[in-house]
Structure 1
Amino acid sequence: MAHRQGLSDLNTGSGASPVNSPVGACVGDCPRCCAKVTQEQMTAIFPSASSAKITAVMDAFNSAFEKFELNRCLRKAHFFAQIRQEVGASINALTENLNYKESVLKEKFNYFRDNPAEAALYGRNDDHPADQEAIANRAYGKRNGNGSIESGEGWLYRGRGYIQITGKEIYQNVQNQMNARYPGNGLDIVANVEQTLEPKGGMLSAMAYWRWKKLNEKSDLGDTGAHVDAITDVVNYYTDSRESRKTHFNTTKVVFKVAECTNRPK
């Protein structure tokens, strides 16, 4: 097994991609803010990911991070803490799991509270598995730009990606942000939703969502648990993973040397 660097060594730079090699002009005097992320940094954040996946994610981020203004150490730390929670240590982008029990459907979704017989019909119980497609089309029908139940858009535009996006309107807004900030990006996540599960599409759509939701500005406010929670409120308000996201941020803020950044809030 190859030797793994300690977190304190990750910003010293090694080989062809030193962290202090800026890719563009920075505001302020911290050379790391506008530096490309490195293989070592990504491995520290995603310790179980394959080398090939690490490289693909790193290349996607490095190709576009300045376009989405993820060009501060603190912004990178907050961004990758959220990504780490969403895709795990192995970088496995997931499609939303709708394998809900009847009782949970009525707790989570207004549609099934209003239509309890359908919660019993489509939710998981002792008699049958959950009908996830039927659940999605009802839970998300006529929401976030989706059409009716019959349109199938609730199922088509269910949650996906490195930061899960849900609903046709959200997919389109993220695509619009990608097109505006990165013309010629080669992606169309509205027409090809599965692109959000691939390293390039997953990373760029997450960066576009981040920029669209003004999470850079929230990142700039600070590096406490409360600041992580404020970002989590936007990314996934109802999650039960708030403490895990803070734990990941404790790693990423060391990886990106937030404490030493001269562009962080005073």
Structure 2
Amino acid sequence: MKQHVVQSGDTLNTIAKQYYVDVRRAKDIARANGIKNPNQIKVGWRLVLPNVSPPQTISATSPAKPKPQPASKHKTEGIRITESQLAEIMKTTAEMTQYCEAVNTCLQHYNINTPLRAAHFLAQIAHESGGFRYLEENLNYSANALKSMFGKYFKDDRLASDYARQPHKIANRVYANRMGNGNERSGDGWRYRGRGLIQLTGKTYYSQYADDRQVDVVQTPNLVASDPMLATDVAGWYWDSRALNQYADNDDMRAITKRINGGHHGLKDRQFYLNRAKNALGV
């Protein structure tokens, strides 16, 4: 049986990615080696790499850890999006092939199983990610933008100027002491900044997702922005956690946007994508 000697910087997630191309295999490695705390492995440990079949992860035919879904008037007949349909909706230079599989897996797992539900989901992730082009939060703000958007944290010109165009510092200030993050010096604000097609933000939500989906994004949060399957699944998880299918069934874009955005920012763009999605899916 193949083994791996732990090197400096290794985590169970990176080892799983290296040998199985699937970070979700980390739990198999932990189980095979009797590791109770996957966050505490030591350099020099010789780990057995189990030759087991892939776990039931975010798969279109075998969804992992099914969750109760809100009651719906629709039957669960399911829907699949083709690559050409996805490209028609997004109209972007992003690579569609890798996202097509991820989207279909997500639709299956989170019961986004009618053309109308899928149209609303696709419209929201299209707006939030700029058509799959942006998988993590852009915090490169000018001083004026900081005062406009985060006036609570930047109340004068001097302070705003001190932080301007420094994304690390900005994130650590505006996300400090909330959403499960530590203080500004902890670095949690930057570490757990927004990532994914609907952005996962804050240590609390990274931890909740990790617990629900058995993917250790707390220790390796960058995976959410680097793995298209994870980036998409995070969006589905958020959608499901807010029971947004019921609003999609009512064709209520404003209600969905409110629960994703906290307001109605970008409503015109979201409507633009919704119209495209409905047209592509024949709604």
TM-score, shorter chain, exceeding 0.5: yes
> Within 1, Cα distance between the matches of 2:169 and 2:162?
10
Aligned to 2:169: 134
Deviation at 1:29, TM superposition (A): 7.9
Give the 3 Å change call, closer, same or farther, for CA 211–29 of structure 1 in structure 2.
Answer: closer
**1:46 matched to 2:110:** no
CA contact (8 A) 1:161 1:196 kept: yes
Normalising by structure 2, report the TM-score: 0.67
User: Where do 1:84-123 residues align within 5 Å?
Assistant: 84-89=126-131, 91-109=132-150, 110-113=152-155, 117-123=158-164
Aligned to 1:257: 282
**Large movers: runs of 4+ above 6 Å:** 27-31
Aligned to 1:203: 232
Deviation at 1:111, TM superposition (A): 2.2
> Within 2, Cα distance between the matches of 1:209 and 1:29?
21
The structure with higher relative contact order (CA 8 Å, sep 6+) is 1
> Within 2, Cα distance between the matches of 1:103 and 1:48?
30
> Within 2, Cα distance between the matches of 1:153 and 1:65?
31
> Within 2, Cα distance between the matches of 1:141 and 1:248?
33
> Within 2, Cα distance between the matches of 1:243 and 1:191?
37
Deviation at 1:202, TM superposition (A): 0.8
CA contact (8 A) 2:79 2:107 kept: no
CA contact (8 A) 2:247 2:256 kept: yes
Aligned to 1:215: 244
1:243 to 255, 268, 273: 268
**1:234 matched to 2:259:** yes
Give the 3 Å change call, closer, same or farther, for CA 162–141 of structure 1 in structure 2.
Answer: same
> Within 2, Cα distance between the matches of 1:99 and 1:34?
40
What is the root-mean-square deviation in Å for CA atoms of aligned residues? 2.6
Aligned to 2:217: 189
Letter paired with 1:121: D
> Within 1, Cα distance between the matches of 2:212 and 2:280?
28
> Within 2, Cα distance between the matches of 1:100 and 1:88?
18
Deviation at 1:133, TM superposition (A): 1.1
1:83 to 103, 125, 143: 125
Give the 3 Å change call, closer, same or farther, for CA 119–239 of structure 1 in structure 2.
Answer: farther
Aligned to 1:34: 78
**1:149 matched to 2:184:** yes
> How big is each residue's C-alpha offset from its partner over 1:225-265, in whole Å with a ceiling of 9 and x where there is no partner?
xx21221122223564210110110011122222xxxxxxx
Letter paired with 2:221: V
Aligned to 1:262: none
- SS at 1:111's partner residue? coil
> Within 2, Cα distance between the matches of 1:28 and 1:97?
39
- SS at 2:108's partner residue? coil
> Within 1, Cα distance between the matches of 2:99 and 2:199?
16
- SS at 1:161's partner residue? coil
Give the 3 Å change call, closer, same or farther, for CA 65–82 of structure 1 in structure 2.
Answer: same
User: Where do 1:157-168 residues align within 5 Å?
Assistant: 157-168=192-203
> Within 2, Cα distance between the matches of 1:55 and 1:245?
23
Give the 3 Å change call, closer, same or farther, for CA 238–105 of structure 1 in structure 2.
Answer: farther
CA contact (8 A) 2:74 2:114 kept: no
> Within 2, Cα distance between the matches of 1:133 and 1:29?
45
CA contact (8 A) 1:87 1:162 kept: yes
CA contact (8 A) 1:136 1:158 kept: yes
Give the 3 Å change call, closer, same or farther, for CA 45–177 of structure 1 in structure 2.
Answer: farther
